[in-house]
């Protein structure tokens, strides 16, 4: 075991730390990794409608399809969103806020379909349908904010 010795005459070591990632660098990475989970969901859905036919009721299959489709489309939308976010010239904190708002909204909207699939009943509202609606509001807020930022920077 070697002990570190302080030396006033020794040259300083260059820092190996990379600066913190921006929202438009980290959040797209998260979105791409989440797309992989959508692919696994697609595989599961395919099994349910081919080899495990009848495992899901028609209503549950419908909500599985809706949750899966919304997740995929909204995550791809988020990747496009992150390309345009720097053009709005928001502060770093605002970019983080709206980027996270969009991803949380996408997860909430698609996740609500899966939650309703698990605990909901036909013809009735459930925590899943409330979560889906809340996700839609969050997505709309993030998209409107981006549109306003882009318009202001024309």
For residues 30 and 17, which has the higher predicted lDDT (pLDDT)? Answer: 30
For residues 14 and 86, which has the higher predicted lDDT (pLDDT)? Answer: 86
**144 assigned to some structural domain:** yes
**112 assigned to some structural domain:** yes
- For residue 3, pLDDT over 60 is answered with no
Per-residue pLDDT tens over the stretch 39-63:
999 999 999 989 888 888 999 999 9
**10 assigned to some structural domain:** no
Cα–Cα distance measured from residue 60 to residue 39, given in angstroms and rounded to the nearest whole number = 19
Q: What is residue 14's predicted lDDT score, i.e. its pLDDT?
A: 64
Q: What is residue 90's predicted lDDT score, i.e. its pLDDT?
A: 98
Cα–Cα distance measured from residue 95 to residue 102, given in angstroms and rounded to the nearest whole number = 11
**14 assigned to some structural domain:** no
Compute and round to an integer the Cα radius of gyration of the chain: 22
**11 assigned to some structural domain:** no
Residue 41 neighbours by CB under 8 Å, 6+ apart: 67, 68, 71
Q: What's the chain's average pLDDT?
A: 92
What total number of domains does the chain contain? 1
pTM: 0.85
**79 assigned to some structural domain:** yes
Report the pLDDT averaged over residues 74-94.
98
Please give the residue range of the domain that contains residue 83.
23-152
**61 assigned to some structural domain:** yes
Q: Which of 8-17, 78-87, 113-122 has the lowest mean pLDDT?
A: 8-17
């Amino acid at each position: 075991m070697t002990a570190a010795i302080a030396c006033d005459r020794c040259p300083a070591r260059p820092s190996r730390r990379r600066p913190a990632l921006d929202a438009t660098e980290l959040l797209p990475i998260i979105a791409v990794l989440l797309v992989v989970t959508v692919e696994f969901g697609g595989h599961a859905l395919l099994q349910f409608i081919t080899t495990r036919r009848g495992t899901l009721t028609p209503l549950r299959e419908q909500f599985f399809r809706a949750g899966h489709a919304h997740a995929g489309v909204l995550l791809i939308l988020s990747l496009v969103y992150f390309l345009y976010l720097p053009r709005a010239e928001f502060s770093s904190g605002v970019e983080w806020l709206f980027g996270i708002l969009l991803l949380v909204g996408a997860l909430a909207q698609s996740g609500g379909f899966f939650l309703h699939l698990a605990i909901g009943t036909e013809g009735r509202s459930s925590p899943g349908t409330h979560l889906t609606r809340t996700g839609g509001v969050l997505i709309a807020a993030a998209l409107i904010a981006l549109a306003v930022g882009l318009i202001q920077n024309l």
